[in-house]
Amino acid sequence: MDPWSSSNILDEDYERLINEFGIERISDIMRQKLLKNRFIRRKIIFGHRSLEDIFKAVEKKEPWAVMSGIKPSGPFHLGTLTTALEIVEFQKLGGKAYYCIADIESWEDNGIPYEEAGETSVDNLADILALGLDPSPKKAYIWRQSKEDIVKDVCFKVGRLLTLNMVNAIYGEKPFGLYLAALIQVGDIILPQVLDGVQPTVVPVGIDQDPHIRLTRDLTRRYYKEIKKNGKIIQQEFFLPGATYHKLLPGLDGSDKMSKRNPNSYFTFNESFESIEKKIKGAVTGGRRNKKEQQELGGEPQKCMIYKILMYHFEDDDDKLAEDFEKCVKGELLCGEHKRDCIEKVLKYIKEHRKKKEKLIDKAREILKVE
């Protein structure tokens, strides 16, 4: 798995990845506790690490954190929407949200200068505020990597625990700047515990980001916080950061995954409604070659991008999703009809989102101190 590549994880690969990398499955008991979270309920989130630490903290009414972020390399799109909504869901559950603007990574991976990333960061942050993130200090901490001393300090401290062979084994051969960006992300992930005290942390990610999680957990085992207690300096061990893993959305056009490097694979929340409609109309479906064959053989909704984006984001009614799935399998739901329904729901969602976002741009600018 390469967190910087455009390759997709196929459905049949998930079971192998669970076994190979020691990812824990979401149990039925966990799912019952989190039924309000659509990604858990619909099994889009399929695995986790140390999620039980969060449940224990909730039960004991102890502090816990949810940490995530965004690389400011372009406007919000479907691939970034999943993680953003997950952090909002966990914040509503009671966790303090720690949200990172990964402008160091956008420089290393995409060559975007910090100054240019500033405006994109404001735009991205306004999007997640519009999705419901509460930015009040008691409920959230928001930072840019390039401006946050903690994450850079942690990068140097954990750097002495690594060799080139170790990072090469995790990520493969990459430009050295990406290795440094990965160490900065270690700082991002353990920032909640450095800043606000030792506490369980969950990081919602796509499965392709697991190398970052594994690296951070490994380094956290050897990292500690020095605190003064009864006049003595003692070493306080951190919780190993946990994670939830969601399945990746393939590209609308049939490409491996939604990627900012391939504009036809996704639509942004900023582009014209005409462009969004055109991309949805051109999306890959699970339909047959013609209407007659569709009615005789039935469709394959598990391959359909229209069904998938509705399931992930734009259809709130579980019963309607299940009904559409069955109708497609039986050949009763044709692709043209399904696309029209999807277009209507998507455009309505984005129109409402833009109205909320417009009122939050100044707030985002104030939080990030971008003039």
Average pLDDT of the chain to the nearest whole number: 91
- Each residue's pLDDT tens digit, 193-235: 999 999 999 999 988 899 999 999 999 988 766 666 777 767 7
Does residue 13 carry a pLDDT above 90?
no
Residue 7's pLDDT band (boundaries 50, 70, 90)? low
The rounded distance, in Å, linking the Cα atoms of 185 and 3 is 12
Kindly report the CATH number assigned to the domain that includes residue 151: 3.40.50.620
Q: What is the largest CA-CA distance in the chain?
A: 81
Residue 367's pLDDT band (boundaries 50, 70, 90)? very high
Which strands make up the sheet holding 201-206, listed edge to edge? 24-25, 45-49, 242-246, 201-206, 65-70, 96-101, 140-144
Does 56 reside within a domain?
A: yes
Residues 195, 343, single domain; the answer is no
- Each residue's pLDDT tens digit, 251-267: 898 887 777 677 888 99
Evaluate the CA torsion angle 114, 120, 123, 127 in order and state its sign: negative
Residues 220, 345, single domain; the answer is no
- Each residue's pLDDT tens digit, 139-198: 999 999 999 999 999 999 899 889 999 999 999 999 999 999 999 999 999 999 999 999
Residue 8's pLDDT band (boundaries 50, 70, 90)? low
Residues 225, 300, single domain; the answer is no
* Mean pLDDT of the region 322-338: 93
Residue 6 confidence (pLDDT): 56
| Angular region, 212: left φ>0, alpha ψ -120 to 50, beta rest | alpha
Provide CB contacts within 8 A for 183, sequence distance 6+. 154, 155, 158, 159, 162
Instruction: Please tell me the total count of domains within the chain.
Output: 2
Does residue 15 carry a pLDDT above 90?
no
* 8 Å CB contact between 144 and 188: no
- Is residue 234 within a helix (H) or strand (E), and if so which, with residue range? strand 232-237
Domain termination residue (choose one: 250, 281, 297): 250
The rounded distance, in Å, linking the Cα atoms of 131 and 96 is 16
Does 266 reside within a domain?
A: no
Residues 216, 69, single domain; the answer is yes
Does 153 reside within a domain?
A: yes
Q: Which residue has the tokens 């990746």?
A: 248
Residue 233 confidence (pLDDT): 67
The rounded distance, in Å, linking the Cα atoms of 252 and 308 is 10
Residue 35's pLDDT band (boundaries 50, 70, 90)? confident
The rounded distance, in Å, linking the Cα atoms of 266 and 23 is 28
Residue 242 confidence (pLDDT): 97
* 8 Å CB contact between 313 and 81: yes
Does 2 reside within a domain?
A: no
Lowest mean pLDDT segment, chosen from 114-128, 284-298, 309-323: 284-298
Q: Which two tokens stand for residue 369?
A: 């101190």
Residues 73, 158, single domain; the answer is yes
The rounded distance, in Å, linking the Cα atoms of 241 and 245 is 13
pTM (predicted TM-score): 0.91
Residue 290 confidence (pLDDT): 84
Residue 227 confidence (pLDDT): 63
Kindly report the CATH number assigned to the domain that includes residue 285: 1.10.240.10
Does 313 reside within a domain?
A: yes
Evaluate the CA torsion angle 195, 197, 202, 207 in order and state its sign: positive
The rounded distance, in Å, linking the Cα atoms of 94 and 163 is 38
Does residue 357 carry a pLDDT above 70?
yes
Percent of the chain whose pLDDT exceeds 90: 71
Domain termination residue (choose one: 187, 219, 250): 250
Burial (CB count within 10 angstroms: exposed 0-12, middle 13-18, buried 19+), residue 231:
exposed
* Mean pLDDT of the region 29-58: 92
Residue 368 confidence (pLDDT): 96
Residues 225, 338, single domain; the answer is no
Domain termination residue (choose one: 250, 279, 313): 250
The rounded distance, in Å, linking the Cα atoms of 211 and 21 is 10
Does 6 reside within a domain?
A: no
Does residue 236 carry a pLDDT above 90?
no
The rounded distance, in Å, linking the Cα atoms of 49 and 215 is 13
